[in-house]
Amino acid sequence: MLHASEFIGRPVADADGKRIGKLKDLLAAHRGEVPHPLLVAIEVKQRSGSVFIPMHEVAALISLAIPLKKKISEITPYEPLPEDLHLVRDVLDKQIIDTDGMRVVRVNDLELTRVNGDVYVANVDISGVGLVRRLGLGSLADRLAAHPRSSDLPSIISWDNIELLSGDQPMRLKVPTSKMADLHPADLAEILSDLSRQEGSKILETLDIETLADTLEEVEPDFQVSLIERMTDDRVADLLEEMAPDEAADLLAELPQDRKHDLLELMEDKEAEDVRKLLTFPEDTAGGIMNTEYFLIPSNFSAAQVLERLRETAPEAETIYYIYVADQDEHLLGVFSLRQLVLAQPDALVIDFMEERVVTVDLMDSQEDCAQVVSKYNLLAVPVVDEQKRIHGIVTADDALDKIIPTAWKKRLPRFYQ
Amino acid sequence: MNLWQRLRPIRTRLALLLAVVGPGIITANVDNDAGGITTYSVAGARYGYALLWMMPIVAVALIIVQEMSARLGVVTGKGLADLIRERMGVRVTTLILALLVFVNLANTVSEFAGVAASMEIFGVSKYISVPLAAIAVWFLIVKGSYKVVERVFLIASAIFLAYVASGVIAAPNWSEVGRSLATPTFHLDVGYVTIFVTIIGTTIAPWMQFYQQSSIVDKGIQLKDYAYERVDVVVGSLFAVFVAAFIMIACASTIYKSGLNIDSAKDAALALGPLAGKYASLLFAFGLLNASLFSAAILPLSTSYTVCEAFGWENSVRRDLKDAPIFFGIYTALIILGAGIILLPIQSLIQAMMISQTFNGVLLPVILITMLVLINDKRLMGKFKNGRIINILAWTTTVILIILAAILIVVTFIP
């Protein structure tokens, strides 16, 4: 395994033995489907500017002076392409994202490997040993490396598990690679909280609205605000429409009046109306934390009809595990679970298998009350009703318990998987 | 459209200004920490108005340096240590940070000295006040809300206006003050050069550059709001030097005039006599305690952040001890060492407070050169890199500082 730190800065000499400069940088490029970049050229720093030597003219890398295969006059310089990676300038000492360990780390050294005469970038070294090696204490580093200390997360990361930050690369197209988009929103949120605001914003720009909404729902409202600060109002409005109304309401509540007003204007009327309604309730009441995306069916439906309706409209609902039965004026008549629905005969009427004594909370009940109810009756969600028993929304278990248990723990509670 | 809505553009601009204001003003207030108060007091007490001419020049230098640090933070969105690591490699980073940690330790010692000195005015022995302060500071970092602490500190800093009041009430000979502001004097003896470098070091402390830049990055101030940040920086710097100058004037017109010396904090408190009469000591003690405690909290914290930022170690106050061992380790060590050193038998707490500021002055050119290299990098700063005038001013300041530091070293070791 070659370490980049071992030959950067070394003098470079041509076939005549003439010193032409110092090794300043290594250029690498992705060739084909191989996830590891291939070294294509070296940058040699001379008195006036730099020259790029193609890799196939380099005889060896591990050497006190790096030898070239031909005389300098016989070598055609390499023309760097905009998408080439300058390993020293763009990767070494920079922050990157470890998509395997879900964290933001700094590159201390690079491990290169020779395969069939070609040199590839194998791994990124983020360990303290790597730092020691960079300080020029190679022998000490080797001795330390021989006694690895166990830690939770590895300090040598394979190149295909990292994501480079765009840094100050105006030329590099920031493509939302599948690596970032595949991460669980909670992990994305954690990585975002470790990045600087600028870098975080850049990554947010590349995400699609759905992923963005999911990620935002994982973080606290005040952090949400700082993340959306740099976004255009249009994008934020789209985002708010995509988020669950109660989450959107929480976020809007944190914004200054003017911006809140503007955003509500930009949102689609139906969505804006839901959110406005939620905003009228104090934050720490059932009305303030409830969700308006519940599933309601009329009392004269059969089980089969319910399933039919579910398939048509369910994607919008926050939870379909409880199905609420109501009359035309939304007075709550009963509730049944998805389990009961699936087990019932297709032609059975819901009136026959629904539970008529529904556990509810009032609009103005406190969060603690909701949490009590949810845990006493082992519910996934509890409906919120007014004095006439009309349903206004549902409070999901994780929202009810959210304010009671600090957020760090919240991440360990299961979320509803759609 | 009602009046409230009509005023919107103005409201927005005001709100923006208030939102952005912070890093500059806070950094400036932190400037008047134990080391600062002591240095300016001693300068006024020992040399009268003779050093006043420095203050406008130092103010300009401070504004230049703070503005560069703010610009670096806003344009790159990264802290100073981060930039040094990314642009200048591991070796340079290690060297600079090693020096910074050493100097910051000296500064932390100075803050605890301030705690000890101020509590001595109340008659509390340093063996009680300092350990208590160390524990309090440690808990403040681990459990406290930084925002609340910051706000309390800022409000309490208003105490320094007492110096302004005192200086005015002492009714100094204002024409003499005016003359001193315009007449440079310089002597090539150890005492003079030392106080010279010390004043610069305490006004433009290296750790303040790192702290301010991180603060700006943390706040997420964007490029488009940079004009407001500039206002914040300039106002903050001017305020800091204004207060510093008045500390000098107040001490000059009370202590120097009476031919006394400052050997202890109680002596320094006399400067507040004209304003507070017999309450001068109490007022001074309270001001010094406030400044020392706050700085004793943020110095180790800022150092920890800086080191972890540069070397990629976990850094966050919200992580547990086992998740961020080095982060916790650094500031705990700084607090323990800082407090510990003060508990050793020390002749003069005043001396202890001032020596750290001299170190600041010697390290400053190194940090300035680093900042100048970074801020002139076109790749990094784009069109925000230094213009020619700023470069000339900044480089001149740096060269003068290097010469002064060299003179200081020569004059100290070669009598």
CATH number at residue A313: 3.10.580.10
The pLDDT of residue A414 = 28
> pLDDT class for A280, splitting at 50, 70, 90?
confident
Sequence spans of domains, chain B: 28-413
Predicted TM-score (pTM) of the model is 0.80
The pLDDT of residue B21 = 64
CATH superfamily to which B28-413 belongs: Amino acid/polyamine transporter I (1.20.1740.10)
- Model confidence over B325-356: pLDDT tens digits? 888 888 899 999 999 988 888 777 788 788 88
The pLDDT of residue A185 = 85
**A199 falls within a domain:** yes
The CA distance from B213 to B102, in Å, is 20
The CA distance from B131 to B119, in Å, is 12
> pLDDT class for A260, splitting at 50, 70, 90?
confident
Contact (Cβ atoms closer than 8 angstroms) between residue A325 and residue A333: yes
Q: Assign residue B21 a region (left: φ > 0; alpha: ψ between -120 and 50; beta: otherwise).
A: beta
- Residue A131 has its nearest CB partner, among B78, B220, B311, at B311
**Spatial CA neighbour of A216 closest among A198, A243, A255:** A243
**Spatial CA neighbour of A290 closest among A142, A406, A163, A391:** A391
Q: Is A33 exposed, middle or buried (0-12, 13-18, 19+ CB in 10 A)?
A: exposed
The CA distance from B145 to A267, in Å, is 36
B90 in reach of chain A (CB within 8 A): yes
- Model confidence over B235-253: pLDDT tens digits? 888 988 988 888 888 888 8
B86 in reach of chain A (CB within 8 A): yes
- Residue A258 has its nearest CB partner, among B8, B311, B312, at B8
Cβ-defined contact of B12 to A131 (cutoff 8 Å): no
Same domain, A300 and A383: yes
Contact (Cβ atoms closer than 8 angstroms) between residue A363 and residue A286: yes
Q: Locate tokens 């519940």: which residue?
A: A294
CATH number at residue A231: 1.25.60.10
**A416 falls within a domain:** no
Residue type for A83, please?
A: E
Range A347-356 average pLDDT:
89
Same domain, A95 and A64: no
In total, how many domains does chain A have? Answer: 4
The pLDDT of residue B318 = 53
Q: Which of A183-187, A413-417, B15-19 has the lowest mean pLDDT?
A: A413-417
Q: Locate tokens 């930084």: which residue?
A: B146
Q: Locate tokens 């295969």: which residue?
A: A69
> pLDDT class for A250, splitting at 50, 70, 90?
confident
Buried b (16+ CB within 10 A) or exposed e, A376-406: eeebebbbbbeeeeebbbbbbbbbbbbbeee
SS3 state at B107: helix
The pLDDT of residue A108 = 92
- Model confidence over B303-313: pLDDT tens digits? 988 998 888 88
HEC string of B68-86?
A: HHHHHHHHHCCCHHHHHHH
The CA distance from A202 to A192, in Å, is 10
Choose the mutation target among B90, B96, B313 for the interface with A, i.e. most A CBs under 10 Å.
B90
B325 in reach of chain A (CB within 8 A): no
The CA distance from B136 to B15, in Å, is 34
Q: Which residue of A has its CA nearest to B318?
A: A408
The CA distance from A367 to A344, in Å, is 34
Residue A409: pLDDT above 50? no
B222 in reach of chain A (CB within 8 A): yes
Contact (Cβ atoms closer than 8 angstroms) between residue B44 and residue B258: no
Q: Which residue of B has its CA nearest to A94?
A: B86
- How many Cβ atoms from other residues are within 10 Å of residue B68's Cβ? 21
**Which residue stretches of A36-148 are H helix?**
128-134, 138-146
The CA distance from B344 to B336, in Å, is 13
Residue A413: pLDDT above 50? no
Give me chain A's average pLDDT, please.
83
Counting residues of chain A whose pLDDT is more than 90, the rounded percentage is 16
Same domain, A239 and A329: no
Same domain, A323 and A394: yes
**A172 falls within a domain:** no
Cβ-defined contact of A256 to B15 (cutoff 8 Å): yes
Contact (Cβ atoms closer than 8 angstroms) between residue B376 and residue B386: yes
- Residue B77 has its nearest CB partner, among A93, A196, A229, at A196
**Spatial CA neighbour of B401 closest among B371, B375, B369, B372:** B369
**A196 falls within a domain:** yes
In sequence order, the β-bridge partners of residue A395 are A382
- The secondary structure element, H or E, covering residue A27 is strand A19-29
Q: Assign residue A167 a region (left: φ > 0; alpha: ψ between -120 and 50; beta: otherwise).
A: left
**Spatial CA neighbour of A360 closest among A374, A348, A346:** A374
**A31 falls within a domain:** yes
Same domain, A334 and A400: yes
The pLDDT of residue A410 = 39
Of the residues A164, A193, A212, which one is the last residue of a structural domain? Answer: A164
**Spatial CA neighbour of B293 closest among B101, B177, B136:** B136
- Model confidence over A81-119: pLDDT tens digits? 888 889 998 899 988 888 887 788 889 999 999 888 889
Give the residues of chain B that fall short of pLDDT 70: 1, 4-5, 12, 14-22, 144-147, 149, 171, 274-276, 315-323, 415
Of the residues A134, A164, A194, which one is the last residue of a structural domain? Answer: A164
**A375 falls within a domain:** yes
Number of DSSP helices (H) and strands (E) in chain A, helices first? 19, 19
Same domain, A246 and A195: yes
Of the residues A251, A280, A309, which one is the last residue of a structural domain? Answer: A280
Q: Which domain holds residue A79?
A: 2-85
**For residue A161, what is the DSSP state?**
G
The CA distance from A350 to A303, in Å, is 6
Residue A172: pLDDT above 50? no
B95 in reach of chain A (CB within 8 A): no
